[in-house]
Structure 1
Amino acid sequence: MRFTLLPSRRATAAVAALGLAAAGVVGAGFLSPAAADQTLEKDFPFKCEVIAGGLNLGIQDIGVKATTVVPDSVTPGETIPSTAVSITLTMPELLRQSTALLLGGREAAGASTDSAVTLTSGGQTMTVAIPELGSARTPIPQVANEPWLIPATGMVPPITVPDYATDTVVVGMPQAFNITATIYKADDSTIPSTLSCTGPADLALGSIAVTEPTTEPTTEPTTE
């Protein structure tokens, strides 16, 4: 299933997100490594309403682990290039049972097109959409209590650090995201499914320090 998970001096997220959360939501880094980088990693509990093959499978607790490498600091106006983001979804045992036993699912794939990451600084929040965060076909465990993990990847577009950024930029997961997925049966027939996910109150993945840009002298030095 594809889902979703920010700034730097040169930069690598998140992640994904959610993201993903949807947004979503998250993996590897979404900002390129800089001279001094830090790794942000956190698990988020999302609640997702799952509908598969026209059946409402209820509200499921899905774990979203986001990992990203970001710079230690950024400056206002700095542009961070487009980079990859990845997240890992942990599906609950109850959903595994319903998907594997009730629906006969063997593999699943999907994507979220409304995932995003947030940047909060100076009392303002900027939302950066991730065009597509997704996963190729991955096996659905057929044994009870075997972990069902779904790795998802995507690309965060270039980000310009806002001029109002000050002190720190808090990198956050999306409050909500949606997933369109396909369940594959043993005969390769498919079952469409959707997940509508909402995150917890605390969606902060981590923070990046904001430094003031250095300025050149405005007057020429005097000469003898």
Structure 2
Amino acid sequence: MLITFVSAKNSPGVTTATLALAAEWPREAFVVDADPSGGDIAAGLGRGSWPPGSTVLELVVQARHEPVGHLLQRLAVRVDHGPAVLGGLGRPGQAAAVPWAQLSDAFRALGDIDVLCDGGRFLASGGITPLLQASHHVVVVTWSTLPAARSAARLTALLREEVLPSAAALGLLVVGAGRPYSAGDIATACQVPLLGQLPLDARAARVWAEGREPGPGFRRSALQREARRIALAAPPAQAAS
């Protein structure tokens, strides 16, 4: 199954949400940093130290000679408390050189292995539209402030009406609900299903965003408890087509 997470403007947190969910995923999962503006995982989770061969561009180069599934197993960076991760692009503009359609087909064909892509902020051009269109699910991540909710409503309308082949693939994930709008109200305004909500848990989020040590209570943190609940409710890989 291929799932891509994106946000509108005014809503950071896609990387943290993707990593938190993937860490609790009930099946084997890989996180791919597909942010077209240049990925943050190497600077955050990797604390600026990331193997140069563990990136999307290296995957593309080697995929000419080796199956993508084998490459993910070999190239992805694994951390004790999290998922296997493939680093992102080095700078804006490189996304145009990635054959997202072919890569997406390879991700979709991995059977029982799920790929969760961190798509960053959605870009209408020069971005990852073929990846979104090939994804079994596209999840818009938003905060609950008025600017964030309005931006999310505009983005979901654009995705539903102009980008995605099926509106059924679209869902919403709200971070920090109730500041001031509830997750349900935002989902209603966006006209998409609410997949869940994650709390504002700064201490746990720093593990994913800044590479902090998780500590003994990390898996019991509010962020990871809710991420686990959402991940366990995800549809099985066999249901994806």
Q: Same fold (TM over 0.5)?
A: no
**More strand as a share of residues:** 1
Q: Shorter-normalised TM-score: what interval?
A: under 0.3
What is the TM-score when the length of structure 2 is the normalising length?
Answer: 0.22
Which of the pair has more CA radius of gyration? 1
**More helix as a share of residues:** 2
What is the TM-score when the length of structure 1 is the normalising length?
Answer: 0.23
